Structure 1
């Protein structure tokens, strides 16, 4: 279950792939801009956006705590690109944390309240809070950044697997 210098453990892999699936689902929201969301994705998956985002906020917290507890034994990047790899992972973690936080700012700043998986956690107020709205305005640009980081992350993993033919992808794939 624990990570080792050679590979990520079961908990790290479960968190990684569960979040990858949920983030992929969340990024489908970008397709909501096509035809004003009047299509299957906009009508079926997008209504879950706030609930899945809230779940991701919890999961990123768990993932950060787990990563900190495993930091001494995790696989470490080596070579001249190691600083870039660390920076890329840092940006991924930061954007995964900031996405749901700025989403909360949108919801609360506009007085929408917060309803997660059908449970009203914070009541609608209808009151606008300018500073929360300002922070919430970062949500959409962060989504594009996250998309770019995810594409880069996948591209790097595939590059390692198919071009460099090393075990980088296998460390997380199981």
Structure 2
């Protein structure tokens, strides 16, 4: 009986994950997409979607939770505590770029920074403030401005990739170089 229950739990987790991933893709494409369209994209019926997420708000909460988890993972991969702040920030940019459609949801406010439990702009702001103290980031650029520069470059990089205008291997070095030159003291 336990083996059956475990398989059932794994199947539920896969279905839930498929719905959340479909929601991310579809909401990035069109923030007003319907739950029915998300269910179709996930390969499940609308009734199944509602079993997991009773309403749009519950699904958006799950998308926000996924966003926080992926932002946190990106920050861990970037090793923010290693090296100076500018080096850490330059490692973080390509990691954030891997967030893909979640970036669109952040840029468009579908997942507002306020619900991200401090995982959106806050780590960038902390890095810039650290960089100001260390002298690795231009002190004449206030924290908010510098964070805005990083998000703007991430937006440009993601839009370039999403539209197929360049390959990731070409976009990442341009992103890192632009942010580096913009923030260098």
Is TM-score (shorter-chain normalized) higher than 0.5?
no
TM-score by length of 1: 0.31
Higher relative strand content: 1
TM-score, normalised via structure 2 length: 0.30
Bigger Rg, structure 1 or 2 = 2
Query: Does 1 or 2 have the higher relative contact order (CA < 8 Å, sep 6+)?
Result: 1
